[in-house]
Amino acid sequence: MERKTITIFHGPQHPGITGNMSVELELTGETITKARTHVGYLHRGFEKLIERRTVIQAFTIVCRICVPEPDPNEANFALAVEQLAGIEVSEKATYIRVMVLEMARLAAQLLWMAGQSGSVGLGTVGQWSIYDRDLILDLFEALTGGRVYHMYIYPGGVRRELPEGFLERLGALLDYLQKRLVEYDRLFFDNASFQKRAIGVGVVKSEEALHLGYVGQVLRGCGLKRDVRRDNPYFNYAALEFDIPTQSGGDVFARALVRRAEMRESIKILRQVIAQMPTEGAIMQKLPKHRKFTLPKEDTYVAVESARGEFGYYMAGDGSEMIRRMQVKGPSLIHGFTLLESLLVGEELSNVALIMNSLGICPPEIER
Amino acid sequence: MEEGFNAYRQSLESEEQSIKSTQSVVEQAIAWFRAHSMFVLAYGTGCGAIEMPPTFTSRYDIERLGVVGVATPRQADILIVSGYCSPKTLKRVIRSYEQMSDPKYIIGLGSCTINGGMYWDSYNTIKKLDDFLPVDMYVNGCMPRPEALIEGFVKLQEKIRLNSSEAGYIKYRDNYAHYRANQERLFGAQVAPSYEENFAGMN
Amino acid sequence: MVLIDCFLMLLLAYGFGFLYYGLYRNLSARVHGRFGPSLAQSFFDSVKLFVKEQSTTFGWMFYAGPIIMATGAVLNVLFIPFINHGDSLQGLSSSANLIVVLYLMVLGPLGNALGVGSNGNPFGVMGITRGLTRLIALELPFYLAVIGVMIDAGSADFSAIFEAQSQEMNLLKHPLLFMAAFISFLGFMGKSPFDVVGAPQEVYSGPATEFSGKFFALLLSQSAMFSFAKLLLMVNLFLGGADDLGDLVLKTFVLFVAATFIGSVYARFSTIQSVEFLMRIPTLLGIVGLALL
């Protein structure tokens, strides 16, 4: 017997969608038989805009490519420009960069926790974790002057010296967060009702995960130990000690557990950074004058590990002061299309928000 | 006559008094209730949506002012257009706005809604939201801080309490031809069906 | 006399309903670590919605839905006695019994289904389907518990039930029955983990998706009154009813706070999971409780 299907748009105006995108779902009852991702709501044409900008002009807009965690964009941009222009960065600036990136990772994981818990109606976790994220944003504000967009990691170093007593404040915040993480475990990760919802939902098979180019927690959630910080170290991650947590389940809960362990690893890295931070040294290299800052006719690909997986930039110069081409490869593109569309088939409607949040899909980065 | 900020404030207050004196007690009471219960449509149109969770959760707790999020446009009073709008988003924003029932207000969050902001030379964003929809309150900045958004809400509350005819939904009704022409110019053949027949039967 | 009594009961239910709804928002705000809105916020909301303009029409059937729901809520309030003795605040309870009340409790969701079905919004239809599916699962343990209470009292009349609890309340006499009823009471109140009907991340506002203005205000008011009626029913069935108005406030408040706190620390089950859960644990508790009678 043929069953009647209805087509609905899950988004863009929907509380259960991760940002401004939509998924077109074909439903039989509440079971999804077909899913299609629609994007284009956020296209601003970054890659084209950057072609018409000098390095310093382009620097101001790259952080806006991904809103929940802008810092990997800045790091990528700085790395690419430094590789092309042959700029060496001082040790102190490198440490500060690692610190900023790890703080951003913590903030992004806390934001993810709010989304993930909200998707199963556990609003309390979101209220708490957004508060704790705000404490990190306060530190960002002291350091960079901005809460969300920092524009701090600049080619050649970082833009400002550490404020007085910043590392002590960071240390105190880490102590606080370490205590809070135990409470999050009790309320969220060890909560039987969340486990009941998350276990066995959205299972990614490990054999197809590498083959189709999935990154981040999706890979680590199905047992593959991949992390750009370890595989292809940048800044001074090679000198820092940290683990790469993995889980074998491949489902939403496995990815949640990977993130839970990653928050603790970030705290570990930050503590090492605080202990090893050089007191002396320049934070900024001398750069050519703005109009004379030319990039040679070469290209490069750089990648950093964002809170959701490998975040890569391809950049090419053509000998002029403009950037000839810059391509962004974020984790959301592959997760939001190939993975999401196949994972949703056969799932219940109630699991759409759950799966989308656990894949860490961020639409502004899909369409740039 | 005083000068400076206080004088400006006093002139605003006297204006408020003169408007209020023309209204009955019932009208004023209704306006008070409207100002103290604002339902915000949950639609994060752009990057400004990242500062909405802090505003709505425990750090800044805008629910103190009676502001809560609702899921569907039918029940919403306030639409926050949080940042830049591509034409594709704008089409959805317009449809969401037209589904909301009167009285309804728009807050333009971020510099992008005022003049394009960071994306002033982008080929795929609109530069001035007010050309297409009537904006009641702008909150500038990129990102506007949660405090700025709360300030915007407080100012909007004052505006609602004045019950003035300057409200966006009245402007939209009165100048629909203007807004519609702009929308048609932007969307061409793909423009949404006209909203005009919904005005029939209203004052 | 009866008329004044009924009017007073409705007024009390309306007031307490909104007060408890405001308290719910305040208490869950405290759990979240914030201050929350003023206690009267839900009342402000409903007044504002009453004066909002209505812009959508889907025919008269659409409007009949909230009205049927409100009728169910009002009748429920009138048929459940507020106080366990005397003549005041009894309403029409002497001419009805528990079975009528249980029957009326289903009237609301059915009326809602009628209204929502006529607007054609897929999310509304999904919400109402979820609601009715859950209702079946909710009723099983609740009815088991109620049957236990009725067997214990030997009657379905409220006065007999109060009489049977005069020495020891049913909560202490039959804790298993109370637990079975309490779990499904959480579901009736729309608390996590059984809040599948209006789950915003899944089906917008569920059945209320297309309602705006006055009819949404009516929905809010009736749900506030209906929640109070459910609290009353639980108090009457298991906590021995209220001796006076102060006792009534105390007992309903304790139940209400328990439901609120439980609701704010659990994630939402999916529809099938909540049906499975309700069919297993509370039903089992109810059957064991019945066997122990």
CA B48 to CA B129: how far, in whole Å?
Answer: 15
User: Using a CB-CB distance cutoff of 8 angstroms, which residues of chain C are in contact with residue A348?
Assistant: 270-272
Domain count, chain C: 1
Phi/psi at C109 (5° precision): -55, -35
Over residues A42-69, mean pLDDT: 86
User: Using a CB-CB distance cutoff of 8 angstroms, which residues of chain C are in contact with residue B34?
Assistant: 48, 51
Residue A4 · residue A29 · CB < 8 Å? no
CA C72 to CA B128: how far, in whole Å?
Answer: 50
* C176 belongs to a structural domain: yes
Centre a 10 Å sphere on the Cβ of residue C94 and count the other Cβ atoms it contains. 14
Of A6, A124, A353, the CB nearest to C265: A124
Helix axis angle, B5-21 to B146-162, nearest 10°: 40
**A231, A211, A255, A222: which is closest to A312 by C-alpha?**
A231
Q: What's the pLDDT band for B201 if we cut at 50, 70, 90?
A: very low
**A179, A249, A113: which is closest to C267 by C-alpha?**
A113
CA A220 to CA A331: how far, in whole Å?
Answer: 14
Domain ranges of chain B: 37-198
Are A15 and C272 a contacting pair at CB < 8 A? no
C261: its two tokens: 């706190």
Q: What's the pLDDT band for B202 if we cut at 50, 70, 90?
A: very low
Q: B92: distance to nearest CA of chain A, Å?
A: 8
Q: B88: distance to nearest CA of chain A, Å?
A: 5
User: Using a CB-CB distance cutoff of 8 angstroms, which residues of chain A are in contact with residue B47?
Assistant: 64, 67, 148, 364
**B135, B90, B92: which is closest to B111 by C-alpha?**
B135
Q: What letter represents residue C175's amino acid? A: P
* C20 belongs to a structural domain: no
Residue A335 · residue A306 · CB < 8 Å? no
Q: What three-state secondary structure class fits C281?
A: helix
Q: How many CA atoms lie within 13 A of B130 on its CB side?
A: 12
Residue C21 · residue C46 · CB < 8 Å? no
Q: What's the pLDDT band for A106 if we cut at 50, 70, 90?
A: very high
Q: What letter represents residue C206's amino acid? A: G
Are C201 and A121 a contacting pair at CB < 8 A? yes
Q: What letter represents residue A234's amino acid? A: Y
Determine the pLDDT at residue A362.
Answer: 85
The CATH number linked to A141 is 1.10.645.10
Residue B2 · residue B131 · CB < 8 Å? no
Nearest-Cα residue of chain C relative to residue B39: C45
Q: What three-state secondary structure class fits C112?
A: helix
Determine the pLDDT at residue B119.
Answer: 86
Q: B117: distance to nearest CA of chain A, Å?
A: 11
The pLDDT of residue B203 is above 50: no
Residue B150 · residue B109 · CB < 8 Å? no
Domain count, chain A: 1
Q: Work out the widest C-alpha separation in chain B, in whole angstroms.
A: 57
Residue A122 · residue A250 · CB < 8 Å? no
Alpha helices for chain C (secondary structure H)? 2-32, 41-50, 60-79, 98-117, 122-153, 158-164, 170-173, 175-188, 200-203, 213-238, 245-263, 271-291
- Residue A85 parent element (H or E): helix A71-85
Q: C129: distance to nearest CA of chain B, Å?
A: 19
Q: B64: distance to nearest CA of chain C, Å?
A: 4
* A303 belongs to a structural domain: yes
DSSP symbols for A215-248:
-THHHHHTT----HHHHS--TTGGGS-------S
Compute CA B12 distance to the chain's CA centroid, rounded to the nearest angstrom: 21
User: Using a CB-CB distance cutoff of 8 angstroms, which residues of chain B are in contact with residue A44?
Assistant: 84, 86, 119, 122, 124-125
The string of pLDDT tens digits covering residues A181-237 is 999 998 899 988 888 888 888 888 888 888 888 888 888 888 888 888 888 888 888
Taking one residue from A and the other from B, the number of pairs with CB-CB distance under 8 angstroms is 89
* A115 belongs to a structural domain: yes
Q: C184: distance to nearest CA of chain B, Å?
A: 26
Determine the pLDDT at residue A2.
Answer: 65
Of C34, C268, C272, the CB nearest to A120: C268
User: Using a CB-CB distance cutoff of 8 angstroms, which residues of chain A are in contact with residue B59?
Assistant: 130-131, 134
Chains in contact with C, where contact means 3 or more Cβ–Cβ distances below 8 Å, are A, B
**A47, A5, A44: which is closest to A26 by C-alpha?**
A5
- Terminal CA-to-CA distance of chain A, rounded, Å? 44
CA B27 to CA B37: how far, in whole Å?
Answer: 16
* A282 belongs to a structural domain: yes
Residues 6+ apart with CB under 8 A from A16: A10, A119, A352, A353, A356, C200, C201, C202
Give every residue of chain C whose pLDDT is below 50, as ranges.
none
Q: What letter represents residue A151's amino acid? A: M
Helix axis angle, A252-276 to A91-119, nearest 10°: 150
Phi/psi at A36 (5° precision): -135, 135
**A254, A236, A232: which is closest to A245 by C-alpha?**
A254
Q: What letter represents residue A263's amino acid? A: M
Alpha helices for C154-212 (secondary structure H)? 158-164, 170-173, 175-188, 200-203
Are C29 and B75 a contacting pair at CB < 8 A? no
* C34 belongs to a structural domain: no
Residue C86 region, left (φ>0) first, then alpha (ψ -120 to 50), else beta? left
Of C195, C200, C267, the CB nearest to A191: C267
Of B37, B59, B72, the CB nearest to C205: B72
Determine the pLDDT at residue A178.
Answer: 92
Residue B137 · residue B155 · CB < 8 Å? yes
User: Using a CB-CB distance cutoff of 8 angstroms, which residues of chain A are in contact with residue B73?
Assistant: 13
CA B186 to CA C47: how far, in whole Å?
Answer: 39
User: Using a CB-CB distance cutoff of 8 angstroms, which residues of chain A are in contact with residue C195?
Assistant: 121
Are A44 and B71 a contacting pair at CB < 8 A? no
Chains in contact with A, where contact means 3 or more Cβ–Cβ distances below 8 Å, are B, C
The pLDDT of residue B143 is above 90: no
* A20 belongs to a structural domain: no
Determine the pLDDT at residue B1.
Answer: 53
The string of pLDDT tens digits covering residues C13-38 is 888 888 888 888 898 898 888 888 88
In the block, tokens 């009017």 appear at C7
Residue B154 · residue B103 · CB < 8 Å? no
The string of pLDDT tens digits covering residues A267-315 is 999 999 999 888 888 888 888 887 888 888 889 999 999 888 888 899 9
Chains in contact with B, where contact means 3 or more Cβ–Cβ distances below 8 Å, are A, C
Are C36 and B30 a contacting pair at CB < 8 A? no
Cα-Cα-Cα-Cα torsion A322, A293, A366, A103, nearest 10 degrees, comes to -170
Q: What letter represents residue B187's amino acid? A: F
Centre a 10 Å sphere on the Cβ of residue A178 and count the other Cβ atoms it contains. 14
Write out the residues of chain A at the interface with chain B, using a CB-CB cutoff of 8 A. 12-15, 19-20, 40-45, 48-49, 52, 60-61, 64, 67-68, 111, 114, 126-128, 130-131, 133-134, 137, 146-149, 364
Q: Is B71 on the interface with C (CB under 8 A)?
A: yes
Q: C204: distance to nearest CA of chain A, Å?
A: 7
Residue C276 · residue C282 · CB < 8 Å? no
**B137, B144, B173, B140: which is closest to B38 by C-alpha?**
B137
C146: its two tokens: 């109620």
Of B68, B74, B198, the CB nearest to C212: B74
Report the DSSP pairing between strands B78-82 and B105-109: parallel
Nearest-Cα residue of chain C relative to residue B71: C204
* Domain extent at residue A109: 45-332
B30: its two tokens: 């209704």
Centre a 10 Å sphere on the Cβ of residue B154 and count the other Cβ atoms it contains. 14
Over residues B95-103, mean pLDDT: 85
A165: its two tokens: 């007593």
Are B101 and C56 a contacting pair at CB < 8 A? yes
CA A246 to CA A223: how far, in whole Å?
Answer: 5
Q: What letter represents residue A196's amino acid? A: K
* Domain extent at residue C159: 2-14+57-291
Q: What letter represents residue C161's amino acid? A: I
Over residues A48-64, mean pLDDT: 87
CA A312 to CA A33: how far, in whole Å?
Answer: 33
Determine the pLDDT at residue A1.
Answer: 56
Q: B164: distance to nearest CA of chain A, Å?
A: 30
* C39 belongs to a structural domain: no
Are B61 and C36 a contacting pair at CB < 8 A? yes
Q: Which of residues 279-308 of A touch C (CB under 8 A)?
A: none
Over residues A246-259, mean pLDDT: 90
Determine the pLDDT at residue C103.
Answer: 86
* CATH 3.30.565.10 applies to domain B37-198: no
CA C177 to CA C179: how far, in whole Å?
Answer: 5
> Distance of CA C252 to CAs C143, C238, C255, Å?
21, 11, 5
Report the DSSP pairing between strands B137-139 and B105-109: parallel
